[in-house]
Amino acid sequence: MEGMKFSDVKREFPHEYQAFRHDPSKYRAEVVGGESFQDVFNRMTPKIQEICRRYPEANILIVSHGAALGAEIRHLLGYSLEHLRDKGGLSNTSTTILESHDGQSFTCLAWDKVDYLSRQLGKDDKV
């Protein structure tokens, strides 16, 4: 999926597109040459925990792709793979705020905030 538009993925790999968007437990990253959700967690979680430990009292901004951030945030909040997408994804250029005092447990203070954007978002803006 790297470098592909979602419309192309949907056309060429309809099953994987559906699973990626709506049922992550059935997503087979190897079919589309993508990164599995577990790979995302293995890559992102230790770094986020390290940042939280290094700067325990600081406000930290982490920027990444919406799909990776959405999955990782839900993972940090304790969602199982089967339920990562239950409440939808993140909108492009949205803000989500998490709080942690130990880098291990997280609370979501704001999810997918877009009220500061000057344009109306379309269906393709949510990943």
Could you state, in order of their start, the residue ranges of all structural domains in the chain?
35-125
CATH number of the 35-125 domain = 3.40.50.1240
- How remote is the C-alpha of 66 from its chain's centroid? 5
What is the identity of the amino acid at 100?
S
Q: Which two tokens stand for residue 34?
A: 């993508």
Q: Which two tokens stand for residue 84?
A: 């990562």
What pLDDT, in 10s, does the model give residues 73-105? 999 999 999 999 988 889 888 999 999 999 999
CA distances from 73 to 5, 45, 116, 122 (A): 23, 9, 21, 22
Record the pTM. Answer: 0.90
pLDDT of residue 127 exceeding 80, the answer is: no
